[in-house]
Each structure stands twice: as structure tokens, then as C-alpha cells.
Amino acid sequence: MTRHFLNLDRFDEITLRHMLKRGLDFKGKRAADPQPLRGRILAMIFEKPSTRTRVSFEAGMKQLGGDVVVLGQHDTQLGRGETVADTARVLSRYVDAIMIRTNDPAKLDELAAYASVPVINGLTDTTHPCQIMADIMTVEEHRGPIGGKVVAWSGDGNNVANTWIQAAALFGFEMRLACPANLPPDADIMAWARAKGAKIVLTEDPAAAVKGADAVITDAWVSMGFESENRQQFLEPYAVTESLMAHAKPDALFLHCLPAHRGEEVTDGVIDGPWSVVWDEAENRLHAQKGILMWCLEGA
């Protein structure tokens, strides 16, 4: 059976922890074979630009002994009318796995439906599972098991927030989200998580969300593809400042998937301050994705 990595809600905690352990083994140089993917090729489709996703996947694949083919917006025939299904069938004859970064979740699902090799979700407008795997790894490296902890989100209820909600249902932590009323997280994802028993709190009050939290997270106010929307006026009260962090636990962590717009969603004093683990978080994209690549390709 082809092992796709599409969204966290397709997995159980045991499987996700297996991927995280594999990634940590490579990070700690404990892996028996440091280059187990020799001769394997990953195709990376970018319908949205990327720094961290591209470099971490490319570096990770090459460090594992494999190689990559990068396909930008003008490098495939998708924009000229070739169907996603046909692209999936053709790429499956050439490469061992496909990573796609796209705005459209349906395109990800169609690619996986027709590909005979593993497909990895490098980001959609709805979810960003590779990022949250790196985030879980980072929190646990600094503070131990995330189960039972309180994680607070302040800002737009975007794809990163949606995936944190999915993670709360799987890893057993409380997720509090402070979002403007007009920019909430995905209602279906919240309903799924609550049905799984997750404690999900949604409020418009960032101080209430952050109170006593073990980790505080935010993201850019304007994600790629939403530049035409005037969101700043709604999101200014949700900026993570030193005064907002004062409501969290004294040893709370601050995370941001980057790029950060300093002076908008986060102040210099927070992202450069004692709470911040954003550079470890960025590094862990490399290690978490090695674990994901190994899980996908071990079954191939």
C-alpha cells in the first residue's frame, strides 16, 4: 500500500511518533545507515514559493543519499491544462515520491489518488502537517512530552492553526486559539478534533488564550494567496508582545513557522527573547521531514 503523508488526521499518535523518532535518530546521528535513500528521487512541485520547505526537503533528501527534482510554477504542464491525475501518473514512472505545495487541498488529494508513489503535503491553504511535526519535535525537545500541556495560538485561524488543532486531538494537549471573529479556524477540523475528545478553546481574547500556556504560537497576518485581503485591522490586537507573553507560564516557549513580519504579528523582544525557539523550530523542519520521508519510502 502506498504510504502518503497528507494530513495528521489520517494517522494515529503511534505512527506519527514513529516518524518523529526516525527524524530524531538522524538528528542525533543514531541512525544505523545515514544514507538509506541512496538512488531515490523526490519530485517537489511548488505552486507557492518557499524557502524553508524547499531547502529542508532538498537538504534532507540529499543527506539521506537521495536526490530531488524541483518543479516550479512554470516547470509542469498543470498550468497549461494537463490534469492532476495525468501528472501523477507520469511522475510516478520517474520518481520515488512527490511533495506538493499548493493552495488547493483538492489538488493534493487528487494527486495522491492517482500517484503510485508516496505523496507528501508540503502545504495547502487548509493544512501544513510537515510544519507541525517539526513544531511538536521542538516543544518536546525543550519541555518533554506535549501531552497534557497547554498550547496557545494568537492570530489568523489559518492552515497552521488548523493543523495544530488536529495535533491536539492526536497528542493529547489543550489547544486554545485567539482569533478575530471573521478569521476563525476551519469549523470542520475543530468539529473533528472535538469529536476525538480534544479540548479546543476558541476565543477572541488573546490574553485569555495565553493565560498559563506552555507554548505560544503565531504566524504572519497575511499568508501567501491572501495578500489582497486587508487583515491587519482585525489582527493588530493579536500581536504577540512581551506583555502578552507575560500571561503565559514564566518558562513558556514562543514558536513561529517563519517568515516573521517583525513589528506586526510579533515584536523583536519576543522573537529574539528568552521564550523564542524559532531557530530550533526551523532546523527541525529538516529532521522531522527526514522521518516523514523514511516512513513514506520504507513502505515503497
pLDDT tens for 79-137 read 677 899 999 999 999 999 999 999 999 999 999 999 999 999 999 999 999 999 999 99
257 part of the active site: yes
How far CA 221 is from CA of 67, 103, 188, 255, in Å, comes to 34, 17, 22, 15
Residue tagged active-site, from 9, 219, 231, 296? 219
Among all chains, which residue has been given the C-alpha cell 481574547?
205
**Residue 141: all three cell numbers together:** 525537545
Q: What is the DSSP string of 134-179?
A: HHHHHHHHHHS--TT-EEEEES---HHHHHHHHHHHHHT-EEEEE-
Which strand (E) or helix (H) includes residue 288?
Answer: helix 278-298
Q: Region 190-215: what's the mean pLDDT?
A: 98
Catalytic choice (22, 40, 52, 101): 101
Q: Is residue 285 flagged as an active site residue?
A: yes
Q: What is the pLDDT of residue 227?
A: 64
Provide the residue count of the chain: 300
Say whether pLDDT at 299 is over 90: no
Q: Could you tell me the end-to-end alpha-carbon distance of the chain, in angstroms, rounded to an integer? A: 8
pLDDT value, residue 166: 98
Mean pLDDT of 145-163: 98
- Is the pLDDT confidence value at 300 over 60? no
Decide if 128 is catalytic.
yes
Mean pLDDT, rounded, for 160-171: 98
> Which residue among 285, 287, 289, 296 is the active-site one?
285
d(CA 274, CA 272) in angstroms, rounded, equals 7
pTM beyond cutoff 0.85: yes
Residue 72 above 60 pLDDT? Answer: yes
Task: Give percent of the chain with pLDDT exceeding 70.
Answer: 96
Q: Which of 4, 22, 128, 287 is catalytic?
A: 128
The confidence band for 78, taking pLDDT boundaries of 50, 70 and 90, is confident
Q: Which of 4, 9, 40, 131 is catalytic?
A: 131
pLDDT at residue 74, rounded to an integer: 78
Using CA atoms of 171, 165, 24, 41 in order, give the dihedral in degrees to the nearest 10.
130
